């Protein structure tokens, strides 16, 4: 019973979930959705197919949407999805995923939100460590249940609140994509030229001129570059200055690099 789990992860939460599912499911394979896109690996034949991703602006990350639209799915597998997030239920990622799958004569049989911590630091700083620890404990309990449900091929639906509002909010964000990275700045005096920001970018949107990153206006706002910088040289304007950075404690920086 082959299982293929595609993940999209900039700070490690979704990769962590994908790896836990892999351990729980026999003959499971974990694949980077971004690397599959870059390599043209857009066909899957498996008994079970999973998608694990963060929620971006109440919807699917742009590259998740792009990948699923291009993916050719053989047969009628059990398909599930897990959306990692800081605030669950407010959004419509599974509605959007289901609409894409239906065009392929496939069905999303199970979907869950997996709440850990919001790492969208342009909005606000990370939660206190005690709050992060409590959420991690609760998240682990839920992940065990998700693994069991997927292994048993159970059906599962979840709330998706205010879908029309969330769709409009998501579309406004999509329309300003060329301007998204105009807010990114790099402190060149602090930058060490390590290149991690360039290597983690899922859109190859960063080039380094003289060692420092320069954004090319094709950003999907995953914030991987901000969170992976070991010296905190990258900021989203003034909003993130002085705020903490995040990576899942079980995931190494090298695990998130795409090249």
Cβ pair 77, 3 in contact under 8 A:
no
pLDDT at 1: 73
**Which residue from 27, 19, 23 is spatially nearest to 1, judged by alpha carbons?**
27
pLDDT at 121: 96
DSSP at 12: S
Using the predicted structure, report yes or no on whether residue 41 has a pLDDT greater than 90.
Answer: no
Phi-psi region of 238 (alpha: psi -120 to 50; beta: other; left: phi over 0): alpha
pLDDT at 85: 95
pLDDT at 259: 87
pTM of structure: 0.96
DSSP at 135: H
Q: Is 216 helix (H, G, I), strand (E, B) or coil?
A: coil
CB burial string 168-187: b at 16+ within 10 A, e below: ebbeebeeeeeebbebbbbe
Q: Which of 191-195, 208-212, 245-249 has the lowest mean pLDDT?
A: 208-212
Query: What band does 209 get if pLDDT is binned at 50, 70 and 90?
Result: confident
Average pLDDT of every residue of the chain: 95
Cα gap 94→91, rounded to integer Å: 9
Tens of pLDDT, residue by residue over 95-111, are 999 999 999 999 999 99
Cα gap 235→237, rounded to integer Å: 6
Token pair in block for residue 128:
């206190």
The residue written with tokens 């005096």 in the block is 189
- Mean pLDDT score, 179-203: 95
Is beta strand 212-215 parallel, antiparallel or unpaired with respect to 28-32? Answer: unpaired
Using the predicted structure, report yes or no on whether residue 211 has a pLDDT greater than 90.
Answer: no
Cα gap 4→25, rounded to integer Å: 10
Using the predicted structure, report yes or no on whether residue 258 has a pLDDT greater than 90.
Answer: yes
Using the predicted structure, report yes or no on whether residue 234 has a pLDDT greater than 80.
Answer: yes
Cα gap 137→130, rounded to integer Å: 11
Tens of pLDDT, residue by residue over 56-101, are 999 999 999 999 999 999 999 999 999 999 999 999 999 999 999 9
Burial status of residue 249 (CB atoms within 10 A of its CB: 0-12, 13-18, 19 or more): exposed
pLDDT cut 90: percent of the chain above it: 95
Cα gap 87→114, rounded to integer Å: 9
**What dihedral angle (degrees, nearest 10) is formed by the CA atoms of 29, 33, 34, 35?**
30
Tens of pLDDT, residue by residue over 117-139, are 899 999 999 999 999 999 999 99
Token pair in block for residue 49:
């197919």
Query: Which helix (H) or strand (E) element contains residue 50?
Result: strand 48-54
């Amino acid at each position: 019973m082959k299982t293929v789990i595609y993940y999209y992860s900039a700070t490690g939460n979704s990769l962590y979930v994908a790896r836990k599912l892999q351990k729980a499911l026999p003959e499971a394979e974990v694949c980077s959705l971004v690397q599959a896109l870059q390599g043209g690996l857009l066909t899957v034949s498996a008994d079970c197919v999973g998608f694990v991703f963060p929620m971006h602006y109440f919807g699917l990350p742009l590259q998740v949407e792009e990948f699923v639209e291009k993916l050719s799915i053989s047969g009628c597998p059990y398909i599930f999805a897990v959306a990692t997030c800081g605030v669950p239920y407010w959004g419509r990622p599974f509605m959007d995923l289901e609409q894409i799958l239906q065009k392929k004569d496939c069905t999303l049989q199970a979907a869950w939100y997996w709440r850990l911590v919001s790492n969208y630091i342009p909005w606000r700083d990370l939660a206190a460590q005690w709050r992060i620890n409590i959420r991690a404990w609760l998240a682990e309990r839920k992940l065990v249940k998700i693994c069991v449900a997927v292994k048993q091929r159970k059906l599962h639906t979840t709330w998706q609140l205010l879908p029309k509002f969330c769709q409009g909010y998501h579309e406004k964000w999509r329309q300003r994509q060329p301007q998204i990275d105009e807010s990114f700045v790099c402190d060149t005096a602090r930058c060490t030229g390590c290149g991690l920001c360039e290597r983690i970018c899922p859109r190859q949107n960063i080039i380094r001129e003289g060692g420092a990153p320069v954004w090319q206006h094709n950003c999907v706002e995953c914030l991987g570059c901000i969170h992976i910088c070991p010296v905190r040289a990258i900021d989203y304007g003034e909003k993130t200055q002085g705020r903490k950075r995040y990576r899942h404690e079980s995931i190494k920086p090298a695990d998130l690099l795409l090249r």
